[in-house]
A and B are shown apart, each in its own frame.
Chain A
């Protein structure tokens, strides 16, 4: 167990933080980018930013998601659009819900896609989503709701 009291070496606490968060972060980034390679790149960049500021930030988890979301957004915008998930046939068989969510996730506006992944995959709360997305709380809630409305119809 890590305790951040005086004298704990930063690299050891970061290592534990990394170990706990890496897998979820890569998978979350994959849902945002649709690319394993991009997800790993984005996550490594995000952890790098966290490590760089490890001594300063109060909430490394929130900071990680913020960096990760920004990274995925930048990746999608500048480098290799679009954020397309492999189809089920490309990946493997998937159930009907999975097929529908793959398809709808791709269609969602980026902000709603981020909100849906942050809420329903990573389990963040509304304030945490707002922090991760860098937007007002009301906007984050709106993105979650509108994304969920779309998913509701896709899963009908």
Chain B
């Protein structure tokens, strides 16, 4: 499991923990079984114990251990007999990332490692692990890494390229392969007895040539990766094939186990951002697979429809996610995000609404095929009563459907105009009504139109387009053009391309508005801003009009503060809408600003080069001002509570 997947798993588990453990299972069970007659037929065949069935679907590498642990309430202890790893061991390789290995309860050993942004897993059985004579490779931006993990009671030496690598105290060894490193010898020593494995890395697919015993690598379905060489089939789009405005934004290599070759692919993503680069307007992804067999192709894509078009000499086939074609040496699939909704069109739609007697706002005449799926039952919340009506579009599929929300809030709270300070916002005027358009910079673009009403309320219209319907249209013609321009690249070119995509993706939130804001405050930018946290807090190196340098904090296009060096922990009420938090404690993961009624707003921090974590929280000026900040460390552990100046104490502590 990669770091990303680990974080995702933990975050999902944390969210799921909103639900307490069930209190009375017996009553629930009784309610279920009492309503139906008892099944009359006891299964007459032997089957595995249910608990094994449950475990079997989850015991798949490292991630499975966590899942199983969750379900059983404990983490299975690895077998520990003094020869094996006593628990998970993580090794960090500079410039590459972390590799984690763990001995499972059955004595097998599994490892996980990042591989060009994708996951790479592997397991070897107990005998292979304990022999110490096995190896695998992981490709990455720093090259191909050769690694192995052996039992701790066995000395392992690897001779390669004229030098010798010795396993560390955990039995872990690794090296970055060079082009000339094709043969290596793994020697294990137990007592006075040496055993050797001579292995050869060949291109394109390394296949260990073994002496006794064979490495016997275990490849559980769906969870492991076979050793793979770098750049096998890697492609990148040629620059002249990119339409205007499109830039490569991501590149992934998906490793595949030998038992599941259909899951290997290289993905390239190109995107076109909005003018200020705050929003993805269009995105196209290409998956390049090895030439798939008919069986694997059918498994992956079902029975696609022939569009009648041809690309690179192959028929273009439509599939639910986009389309695919099969060339002699490769299979290429293309998917795209939907056309962006028209903000002006949405605003016009929003203008064609009316307020019902019960307070809800609805469309006077929904577009053809749109149906109401929720009809505005009033609900009470912190900002008063609100009503919501939800429509589904006619393009609904089993997987997705376009959605339109109309919400009316009795109390506007922060003026809609304040939304203009958010990234990507702008205003439009429809029928004399000024409306604020908020483009959420999400891959699934959602457009929101918000306006205040004369009665002190607010109306908000949100549109989320369908995501899984991809008619052959102009954008897909663009995709075809790019696909036809894909060219094979070497591993070095792939690595460079990977870096280029990362840089492009990082620049999507442009600071085009920044110079103007700084100039209005007599400041000149003198370096690249640091941008972290959610919502984004900019730390911008600037020069004042008098020539002195400082660093300014900006969020939602508002200048919050400029400080030379801020090394004081604390929280302050900057104004009626803003709380600023600074901490030098590197253990702080995030902070929560706490209102007197105990409601909380949590945000992440932006860390300065000076090691100061900064956060700016936009608060509701209509509510009693928050007076406390909770500094929270890993695993949601509350580190301490501090008052928000000018308060001197927290009500939390009272």
Contacts and interface: CB of A to CB of B under 8 A. Distances in A.
Given A16-B50, A30-B19, A109-B400, A77 B373 contact: yes
B221 to A, nearest CB: 7
Nearest to A73: B398
Contacts of B18: 30, 36, 85-86, 91-92
A23 B70 CA distance: 10
Nearest to B21: A23
A62 B44 CA distance: 20
Given A97-B7, A107-B442, A61 B53 contact: yes
A1, A58, A153 interface centre (most CB from chain B within 10 Å): A153
A9, A20, A62 interface centre (most CB from chain B within 10 Å): A20
Contacts of B60: 123, 125
Contact of A82 (B32, B223, B403): B403
Nearest to B594: A93
Nearest to B292: A138
B589 A96 contact: yes
A67 to B, nearest CB: 12
A88 to B, nearest CB: 5
A135 B47 CA distance: 26
A126 B43 contact: no
Contacts of B390: 81-82
A99 B534 contact: yes
Given A77-B401, A101-B15, A139 B590 contact: no
A112 B4 CA distance: 17
Given A61-B53, A138-B299, A146-B335, A102 B15 contact: yes
A19 B72 CA distance: 11
Contacts of B488: none
| Contact-residue bracket for chain A | 35 or more
A26 B19 contact: yes
B54 interface: yes
Interface string B584-618: 00000110100000011111100000000000000
Interface in B415-436: none
Interface in B361-384: 373-374
B546 interface: no
A124 B602 contact: no
Interface in B184-209: none
Interface in B237-259: 250, 252, 254
Given A18-B32, A20-B54, A136-B301, A110 B47 contact: no
Given A109-B468, A155-B7, A20 B50 contact: yes
B222 interface: yes
A4 B47 contact: yes
A3 B43 CA distance: 11
Contacts of B401: 77
Given A95-B14, A98-B15, A5 B301 contact: no
A99 B57 CA distance: 29
B8 A120 contact: yes
Interface string A92-123: 11111111111111011111100011001111
Contacts of B533: 96
A36 B599 CA distance: 20
Contact of B16 (A2, A31, A62, A92): A31
A94 B50 contact: no
Contacts of A19: 25, 29
Interface in A1-34: 1-11, 13-24, 26-28, 30-31
B5 interface: yes
Give the 9 A-B residue pairs with the shortest CB-CB distance, closest first: A138-B300, A123-B67, A96-B604, A27-B16, A55-B39, A101-B11, A111-B399, A55-B41, A93-B592
Given A93-B590, A93-B630, 9 more contacts: A5-B46, A20-B54, A61-B53, A95-B590, A95-B636, A99-B604, A136-B299, A136-B300, A149-B443
14 contacts: A3-B49, A4-B43, A14-B33, A28-B16, A30-B15, A77-B373, A77-B396, A95-B590, A97-B8, A120-B12, A120-B63, A139-B321, A155-B4, A155-B11
Interface of A: 1-11, 13-24, 26-28, 30-31, 36, 39, 44, 47-48, 51-56, 58-62, 77-82, 85-86, 88-105, 107-112, 116-117, 120-128, 134-139, 141-143, 145-146, 148-153, 155-156
